[in-house]
Amino acid sequence: MIKIRPIHPDETVVAKRIVYRVAHEIFNDQDSLEESIAYQEARGELKDMDDIQKNYFENGGVFLVMEDEDRIIGTGAIRKMDEGICELRRLWFLSEYHGWGFGYRMILELLRIARELGYVKIRLETAPVHQQRAYELYKRLGFYEIPKYHTTHEDDIAMEMSL
C-alpha cells in the first residue's frame, strides 16, 4: 500500500540515495552511481538533508517520504524561504514509479501542508531540459516561471504558484 508520511531521522541516508540515484539516471551521468555520489557529497550537493530536522521541520516546513510496502520510493519537502513564501524541494521518485501519479499526490500533500502553515506562495527550481515531465506537471498545477533566485545549475529555471 502506498502512503505518505514524515521522514524518520534514521532514513536520511536512504532518502539521499534515492535523490542521487534518480538524478544519476535523469542527467545521464557517465560515472558510476557510487562515484557520482562521492563527487556530489564532496560538493555538499544535498547538505540540507544532513540535518532535515533543522533545515525543514524547524524551518517552517516538512520533509515527507512515500512508501510502497515499507520501501521508500520517493521524497518531497517544503521549507520557509521568506515571510509567507515556502520552497518545494527534493521531489524525487525512483524511476520505476514515474508515470503513476505519485509525484502529483506528493505535491498535493505538500501544498495542503503549506496552506495549513499559512504560506501564500510556493516556489521551486527545476531543469525542464532534463525533467520535462516534472516541469509539465508544475505548469498544470498552476506554477509559472519567475526570475531565478538561487540556482547553481545553468539549465534550471524558477517557478512560483499562489496558494
Fold of 2-120: Aminopeptidase (3.40.630)
Average pLDDT, integer, range 9-17: 95
* pLDDT: which is higher, 71 or 43: 71
Band the pLDDT of 129: cuts 50, 70, 90: confident
Q: What is the pLDDT of residue 154?
A: 77
113 vs 147, which has greater pLDDT?
113
Counting Cβ atoms within 10 Å, is residue 14 exposed (0-12), middle (13-18) or buried (19+)?
middle
**Does residue 106 contact residue 76 with C-beta atoms inside 8 Å?**
yes
Which pLDDT does position 138 carry in this prediction? 96
What does the domain layout of the chain look like in residue ranges? Answer: 2-120
End-to-end C-alpha distance for the chain, whole angstroms: 29
| pLDDT > 90: percent of the chain | 74
**Which pLDDT score is estimated for 152?**
66
d(CA 111, CA 18): 22
Do residues 156 and 129 lie in contact, with contact meaning Cβ atoms separated by under 8 Å?
no
pTM listed for this prediction: 0.93
